[in-house]
């Protein structure tokens, strides 16, 4: 879909579309408050114990919180954006449509994780990774056919419409697939505890989103030409595609890890980490080699001017591949409540990313932002992995089990 849009829209249009989508993802990661990722920690254990009241209370509280925060963040972002840049009509409408759909996107991502927490990992992945992209394509092609000429605003409108459809389908599946006793139980809510425990998930999620989005937004505010922003957007879409493996596998392994931590079965946790590596490392390495050998041809598919982004694509692919292989480490550390550690490392990595973008972006454009991405996300992943593995081994040596 990205290749189609890059070739169909002009450089200005693809730039406006990319900025709008990056804004949606950044605001969504903030609006979730980390509750969607925390669901993979709380709900599996609650369902295992048949603590239906806590499970229902968490789903209800999370839903309401995400809606309220999404609306407030959208208003705040628009106020800051108008004060800082005073966008023109061409730039304004894609952003307005994007901000309007943030509540739907945040809710959809919450229900994806709630559904996965109940054991419906394949179903949740199907809706997010297959149904949603197909719906986006259908909406954009349909809108383009009816209008006769596709613009950035219409493309964002198709993107937004696909999220709304996905949200309603996910909500229906969540109601159907979670145990009936959960919905009939009296809700038990612990807002302060949940918000405190979800904070590390929020910070980590925001930082992971900003690693991909901040480069695009940063180049925009740094005054780089739209050509550089469009190239970086294409490289990010292509080079970070492998990150889908991390989110998909984490969605599968995280509920298992949550239950094993409750049982203090750290030997089995070590076992599932090795199981994940056995198949994920070869797949990720194959992906990276594919980018090395075919990256220029892939970028040429976006348009003849995009192949100059090949160095940026290599940096982004390398950093993303390292983070994918080691992606379970921060999940484990958050699950065992090493929250300050996770917050500190993630914040430092975010500062490094921002500093490198400001240092390298104005001079080197897309390549500079790509280096910032690779160094910060790769270094953070390696440090998390070292600390996570050490923690698991320490628990095993102490006799758990």
Q: What confidence category does residue 89 fall into, taking pLDDT thresholds of 50, 70 and 90?
A: low
Q: Once rounded to an integer, what is the mean pLDDT over residues 24-35?
A: 90
Task: Reply yes or no on whether the pLDDT at 396 is more than 60.
Answer: yes
C-alpha 34/C-alpha 204 separation (Å) is: 8
Task: Reply yes or no on whether the pLDDT at 68 is more than 80.
Answer: yes
Residues 195 and 183 in one domain: no
Residues 219 and 111 in one domain: no
Among residues 189, 224, 254, the one where a domain terminates is: 189
Residues 271 and 389 in one domain: yes
- Mean pLDDT is lowest, of 218-222, 318-322, 342-346, 353-357, for 218-222
C-alpha 5/C-alpha 242 separation (Å) is: 20
Tell me how many domains the chain contains.
Answer: 2
Q: Which residues contact 53 (CB under 8 A, 6 or more apart)?
A: 185, 186, 187, 188
Burial profile 185-194: b = 16 or more Cβ within 10 angstroms, e = fewer:
bebeeeeeeb
C-alpha 234/C-alpha 17 separation (Å) is: 12
Residues 161 and 199 in one domain: no
Residues 181 and 261 in one domain: no
Residues 133 and 266 in one domain: no
Token code pair at residue 210? 């900003």
Match 């390398």 to its residue by tokens.
Answer: 318
Among 131, 109, 135, which residue's Cα sits nearest to residue 30?
A: 109
Neighbours of 310 (CB within 10 A): 20
Q: What is the mean pLDDT of the chain?
A: 87
Residues 203 and 129 in one domain: no
Give pLDDT tens digits for 261-302: 888 888 898 899 899 999 899 999 999 999 999 998 888 888
Share of the chain above pLDDT 90, in %: 43
pLDDT at 13: 84
Residues 226 and 184 in one domain: no
Token code pair at residue 83? 């004060």
Neighbours of 183 (CB within 10 A): 14
Q: Which domain holds residue 82?
A: 1-189
pTM: 0.78
Answer whether 27's CB lies under 8 Å from 96's CB: no
C-alpha 26/C-alpha 236 separation (Å) is: 14
Burial-class residue 297 by CB neighbours within 10 Å (0-12, 13-18, 19+). Answer: exposed
CA dihedral 219, 220, 221, 222 (to 10 degrees): 40
Neighbours of 10 (CB within 10 A): 14
Residues 167 and 195 in one domain: no
C-alpha 345/C-alpha 330 separation (Å) is: 10
Q: Where are any strands of DSSP class E within 51-150?
A: none
Among residues 172, 189, 206, the one where a domain terminates is: 189
- Residue 220 phi/psi, 5-degree rounding, is -65, -50
Residues 152 and 218 in one domain: no
Residues 41 and 140 in one domain: yes
Q: What confidence category does residue 371 fall into, taking pLDDT thresholds of 50, 70 and 90?
A: very high
Token code pair at residue 302? 């976006």
pLDDT at 118: 87
Which of 99-108, 254-263, 333-342 has the highest average model confidence (pLDDT)?
Answer: 99-108
Residues 208 and 157 in one domain: no
Answer whether 267's CB lies under 8 Å from 396's CB: yes
Task: Reply yes or no on whether the pLDDT at 48 is more than 60.
Answer: yes
* SS3 of residue 265 by DSSP: coil
Match 């925390």 to its residue by tokens.
Answer: 38
Token code pair at residue 125? 């992945």
Task: Give me the long-range contacts of 86-95 (CB less than 8 A, separation at least 24).
Answer: 90/12, 90/16, 90/152, 91/16, 91/19, 93/152, 93/153, 93/156, 94/16, 94/17, 94/19, 94/20, 94/152, 94/153, 94/155, 94/156, 95/19, 95/20, 95/23
Among 4, 11, 10, 20, which residue's Cα sits nearest to residue 216?
A: 20
C-alpha 354/C-alpha 8 separation (Å) is: 32
Token code pair at residue 188? 């038990």
Kind plus residue range of the DSSP H or E element containing 50: none
């Amino acid at each position: 879909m990205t290749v189609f849009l890059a070739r169909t829209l002009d450089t200005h249009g693809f730039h406006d579309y990319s900025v709008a989508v990056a804004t949606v993802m950044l605001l969504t990661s903030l609006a979730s408050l980390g509750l969607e990722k925390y669901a993979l920690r709380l709900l599996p254990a609650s369902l295992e114990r048949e603590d239906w009241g806590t499970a229902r209370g968490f789903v209800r509280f999370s839903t309401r919180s995400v809606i309220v925060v999404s609306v407030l963040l959208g208003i705040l972002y628009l106020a800051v954006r108008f004060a800082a840049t005073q966008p023109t009509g061409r730039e304004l409408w894609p952003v307005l449509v994007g901000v309007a759909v943030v509540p739907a996107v945040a809710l959809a991502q919450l229900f994806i994780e709630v559904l996965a927490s109940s054991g419906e990992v394949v179903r949740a992945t199907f809706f997010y990774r297959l149904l949603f992209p197909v719906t986006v394509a259908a909406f954009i092609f349909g809108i383009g056919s009816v209008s006769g000429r596709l613009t950035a605003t219409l493309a964002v409108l198709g993107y937004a419409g696909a999220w709304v459809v996905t949200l309603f389908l996910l909500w229906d599946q969540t109601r159907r697939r979670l145990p009936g006793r959960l919905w009939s139980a009296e809700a038990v809510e612990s807002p302060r505890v949940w918000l405190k425990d979800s904070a590390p998930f929020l910070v980590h999620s925001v930082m992971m989103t900003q690693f991909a989005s901040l480069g695009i937004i940063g180049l925009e505010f740094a005054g780089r030409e739209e050509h550089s922003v469009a190239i970086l957007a294409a490289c990010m879409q292509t080079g970070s595609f492998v990150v889908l493996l991390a989110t998909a596998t984490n969605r599968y392994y995280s509920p298992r890890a949550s239950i094993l931590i409750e049982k203090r079965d750290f030997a089995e946790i070590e076992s599932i980490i090795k199981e994940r590596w056995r198949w994920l490392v070869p797949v990720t390495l194959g992906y990276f080699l594919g980018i090395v050998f075919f990256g220029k041809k892939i970028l040429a598919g976006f348009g003849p001017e995009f192949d100059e982004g090949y160095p940026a694509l290599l940096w982004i692919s390398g950093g993303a591949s390292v983070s994918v292989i080691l992606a379970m480490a921060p999940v484990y550390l958050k699950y065992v409540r090493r929250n300050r550690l996770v917050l500190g490392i993630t914040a430092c990595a975010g500062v490094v990313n921002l500093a490198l973008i400001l240092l390298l972006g104005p001079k080197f454009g897309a390549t500079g932002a790509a280096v910032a991405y690779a160094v910060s996300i790769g270094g953070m992943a390696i440090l998390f992995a070292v600390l996570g593995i050490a923690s698991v081994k320490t628990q095993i040596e102490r006799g758990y089990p």
